[in-house]
Structure 1
């Protein structure tokens, strides 16, 4: 989800709720402790230099159980970050603490913002020689005579 999209959604909501992909909710008393633009400048394993930009939202749970972040307040924080930091419209990446700091993509299911698990991937499959998908072979279609006791293969 891009920053522009969350800015369109927030005014339509009564509450801001974040939900993990497994259905559990981020506690209602979370804080958005950071909003920033992340620029990742790197080289992939195929030697291609790449640059990615994302907007980072950091969620944090405190012992402040009376805290509730309302949509208007989050929208004001976003607008302030755009004004003061010159943040561009980009995909949002959410940092949230579990066993370690997890990074999630963000989606909206019509009611809640959903933290979608991110996956690593090779960006240079053609340079690595990794097949796109392991070939599937049916055992019934293999030549049954290739390794008989008299074939000499074993």
Structure 2
């Protein structure tokens, strides 16, 4: 999700809710503790220099169970953060504390903002010898397999 999309959705909401990828709702008393600009400047395993920049939101919960972040207040925070983020329509990355700090993408399902899973990937697959195609599980033939049948 991009910043412009979030700004588009917020005015139509009566409450700001976030859900984890498994559907679990974040506690309603969450805080947005940071809105920042994160730039990652790196060299991939193929030797190509790259730079990625995202808007980063840090969500946090405290013991103030009566706290609620209203949609307009969140929009005000986003507008204020434009001094740091600039005018570029950046992708949003969300940090949320679990067993460790989790990094998520963001989507909207029409009612709630949904934290989406992020995956690592090789950006230089050709240089690493990784084939263009991956073998999909449906290629495995398991129909007719029975315990002790020798096909598994």
Are residues 99 and 86 of structure 1, via their aligned partners in 2, closer, same or farther at CA, if it must alter by over 3 Å? Answer: closer
Q: Deviations over 1:73-124 (max 9, x none)?
A: 0000000000x31433110000001100000000000000000011100000
Instruction: Structure 2: give runs of 5+ residues left out of the alignment.
Output: 142-152
Q: Distance in 1 between matches of 2:85 and 2:19?
A: 28
> TM-score by structure 2 length?
0.86
CA RMSD in angstroms comes to 1.4
In structure 2, how many angstroms separate the alpha carbons of the residues matched to 1:27 and 1:102? 16
State yes or no: 1:61 paired with 2:61. Answer: yes
Q: CA 1:137–1:11 in structure 2 vs 1: closer, same or farther (change >3 Å)?
A: closer
Task: Tell me the TM-score normalized by structure 1.
Answer: 0.85
- 1:92 and 1:86 map into 2 onto residues whose CA distance is 11
Higher Cα radius of gyration: 1
1:110 matched to which residue of 2?
Answer: 110
Asked if 1 retains the 8 angstrom alpha-carbon contact of 2:2 and 2:90, the reply is yes
Q: How does 1:40-119 map to 2 (within 5 A)?
A: 40-82=40-82, 84-87=83-86, 88-119=88-119
- Matched residue, 1:8: 8
Superposed displacement of residue 130, structure 1: 1.5
Give aligned pairs, total: 137
Give, in whole Å, the separation in 1 of the partners of 2:78 and 2:37. Answer: 11
**Contact 2:36/2:85 (8 A) holds in 1:** no
Output the CA distance in 2 between the equivalents of 1:133 and 1:25: 34
Quickly say closer, same or farther: Cα 1:24–1:47, change in 2 above 3 A. Answer: same
Cα deviation, residue 134, structure 1? 4.0
For residues 63 and 29 of structure 1, the distance between their equivalents in structure 2, rounded to whole angstroms, comes to 8
**How far is the alpha carbon of 1:137 from its aligned partner?**
7.7
**Change beyond 3 A, Cα 1:47–1:75:** same
